[in-house]
Structure 1
Amino acid sequence: MMRRTLLAGITALPLVVSCSPDVPQVSGEFGDPPTIEAPSTTPDEAAHEVAIDGDGPKIDEGSLIAVQLLTHPVAESGELEDPIASSFEQDSETLLTHSEFTELFPEDDGPDGLRVGSRVVNVLPAGETDGRGGDGTSNSALISVMDIVDAYPSDAEVSGTPDEDLALDNGVDLSDPSSPAPQDGAQPPEQTRALPLVKGDGPEIPEQGQLVVQFRGLTWEDGTVFDTTWQGGQPPIALPLGQDAMIDAWDTALPGHTVGSRLLLLVPPEEGYGPEGNPDVGISPNESLIYVIDILGVH
């Protein structure tokens, strides 16, 4: 996976963070694998502490949150067992919805007020973990360290003025930005094309990775919206690229474009849903598709 550059400033971290008595000491720089000092006994109370105060954007309830995460179960002796979740060593991020993020905190002591650039240490005693911490099965006490690398609010979108002429030249009317539509009489695409309506200046999209996007998908025949993230205060979504998780057109046409771009993706049936279509969302057999995609981040 490709790590996205942290845009927010980060408060300098002392070599060792002195935590409250209920939270173990943690050392290491933000973004580097932390070293956790094992407690003398297994924790019996929930606690959390902000080890680094970030000064990036504040996390809100509609955010998709990128974190680096290390979670250790704690034996009854207090010894740290092998981690059940670790993204630091892979130099990658875990992408969490706000509700998933909140589940990593003690009950009644959530993440309100946290900002990008923060490092948080959480302690959950046995019996209160409820499968939290990374593998969905652990009932041991857990100690987690999270570096909050980025957050994408529900209204996130790229900046810049879309190239309406480029869209018109390819059969799509963008005169109403909230409702793109195929032009009357325009011929459907014969091959997949990803056209930069706005060209971003961020890193290139790799062939594999987690892509954070806002998007709207429409049918070519009548412009019916069959899927969108731009509604209802929902967060942007993370899509796995290059893992056969989406239609072929996303995997073949998006790599090489840049973060911060708005793409017009035109998809013929053979790289969409083919002769079967997708009747569950209103896509007919052999239907060509239109996507408008904001590339917000890559991880």
Structure 2
Amino acid sequence: MRLPLALLATATAVAVTLTGCTAAPDPEATAGASSDLIEVEGDFGQEPRVDFPTPVSPAETQCTEIIEGEGDRLVAGQQALVGLAVYNGTTGEEIDVNGFGDQEPVPILLSEGGLPGIRKGLSCASEGSRVVIVAPPADAFGEEGNAQLGIEPDDSLVMVFDVHRAFLLKANGAPQIARDGFPAVVTAPDGRPGITVPDTEPFESTEVEVLKAGSGAVVEDGDQVVVHYTGVLWDDNSVFDSTWERNGPTAFVVAEGEGSQVVPGFAEALIGQKVGSQVGVVIAPEDGYGDAEQAGIPAGSTLFFVIDILGVV
């Protein structure tokens, strides 16, 4: 079975230096002669009817917005839910059509490690956009092509994306003051947290503090939640896991009982909170991994997580 092309777009997020705030970047792609050649018919959210002359041979990635979206344009590191229709721009053959009509939208991450054409092209889109993207071989599968998808090294791509949802890049809530004795958290402009655990005995039970109070939808028991997080060991402040250092935001089902995809303390920290919030949670061993060693986490460890709530799927 053919792998959805969107899966090829997820990859390691790029490290961002701790610099001051900057204005939103300009789109990495704009409309051009090649993208304007693509004819697309149909309503947003429904499978599009796509027609174009072959071969499509753009010199660089181009993007034409067919249906105008609202809000900020998408940027690198952002996660979105999309419908996608992808074609070989040289032969006209369909490669993948997914996420339209009754199908669930496809999660996609605008990553430096994915196909450059997707990241560049979607930078001209926002939530609610339908866009046409044409990508030259260098911004598609490059010199290796993709035999599984029937793409030769010199083949371009033609893509149509409907952007259903665009999740936050980072928590955007109002800063709050945490209680005395709670780990200190400072946040870089890109959202990456710096954590200092106090040199004291940990709390005896799981404790949650809202570090930034968001104003979005409330996370409910059983929701799938898109988050950024960093986890450290209380004993030595060492980072054992961080989405900021690997694949970008991730999504978990959080529940009070059966069906939860996270440890109980992590779920407790999120349920009842609002999208846009940043929460800190000290997780006692009984609400974490207990007396079992887990992926390098010593048995009986107290954990501390900083979690940015980016959206509810």
Mapping for residues 1-299 of structure 1, pairs under 5 Å: 22-29=37-44, 32-38=45-51, 43-46=54-57, 48-50=62-64, 51-54=66-69, 56-61=71-76, 63-71=77-85, 84-86=97-99, 89-90=102-103, 92-99=105-112, 102-103=115-116, 105=118, 110-111=120-121, 114-117=124-127, 118-122=129-133, 130=141, 137-139=148-150, 143-148=158-163, 149-150=165-166, 152-153=168-169, 156-165=170-179, 168=180, 171-174=181-184, 178-182=194-198, 184-189=200-205, 192-206=206-220, 207-213=222-228, 215-229=229-243, 236-242=248-254, 245-251=261-267, 253-278=269-294, 280=296, 283-299=297-313
Q: Give the AA of the match of 1:208.
A: D
C-alpha separation between the residues in 2 aligned to 1:120 and 1:297?
23
Q: Give the AA of the match of 1:267.
A: I
Partners of 1:269 and 1:289 within 8 A in 2? yes
Instruction: Decide whether aligned partners of structure 1 residues 223 and 297 sit closer, same or farther in structure 2, where only a CA change above 3 A counts.
Output: same
Instruction: Decide whether aligned partners of structure 1 residues 295 and 151 sit closer, same or farther in structure 2, where only a CA change above 3 A counts.
Output: closer
Deviation string, structure 1 residues 186-216 (Cα, Å, up to 9, x no partner)? 4432xx4444333321012242324132x22
Instruction: Decide whether aligned partners of structure 1 residues 221 and 87 sit closer, same or farther in structure 2, where only a CA change above 3 A counts.
Output: farther
Instruction: Decide whether aligned partners of structure 1 residues 26 and 90 sit closer, same or farther in structure 2, where only a CA change above 3 A counts.
Output: same
Instruction: Decide whether aligned partners of structure 1 residues 185 and 193 sit closer, same or farther in structure 2, where only a CA change above 3 A counts.
Output: closer
TM-score (norm 1): 0.65
Q: Which residue of 2 aligns with 1:6?
A: none
Q: Which residue of 2 aligns with 1:14?
A: none
C-alpha separation between the residues in 1 aligned to 2:266 and 2:100?
25
Secondary structure at the aligned position of 1:179 is classed as: strand
Per-residue deviation, 1:125: 9.8
TM-score (norm 2): 0.63
Instruction: Decide whether aligned partners of structure 1 residues 227 and 129 sit closer, same or farther in structure 2, where only a CA change above 3 A counts.
Output: closer
Instruction: Decide whether aligned partners of structure 1 residues 122 and 146 sit closer, same or farther in structure 2, where only a CA change above 3 A counts.
Output: same
Per-residue deviation, 1:294: 1.7
Partners of 2:63 and 2:124 within 8 A in 1? no
Determine what percentage of the aligned residue pairs are the same residue.
22
Instruction: Decide whether aligned partners of structure 1 residues 221 and 88 sit closer, same or farther in structure 2, where only a CA change above 3 A counts.
Output: farther
Give me the CA root mean square deviation: 4.2
Per-residue deviation, 1:80: 6.0
Partners of 1:57 and 1:116 within 8 A in 2? yes
Partners of 1:34 and 1:145 within 8 A in 2? no
Deviation string, structure 1 residues 247-276 (Cα, Å, up to 9, x no partner)? 343345423321011212222223322323
C-alpha separation between the residues in 1 aligned to 2:140 and 2:201?
58
Instruction: Decide whether aligned partners of structure 1 residues 258 and 175 sit closer, same or farther in structure 2, where only a CA change above 3 A counts.
Output: closer
Secondary structure at the aligned position of 1:249 is classed as: helix
Q: How many residues align?
A: 257
Q: Which runs of 5+ in 1 are unaligned?
A: 1-18
Instruction: Decide whether aligned partners of structure 1 residues 100 and 220 sit closer, same or farther in structure 2, where only a CA change above 3 A counts.
Output: closer
Instruction: Decide whether aligned partners of structure 1 residues 125 and 262 sit closer, same or farther in structure 2, where only a CA change above 3 A counts.
Output: closer
Secondary structure at the aligned position of 2:215 is classed as: coil
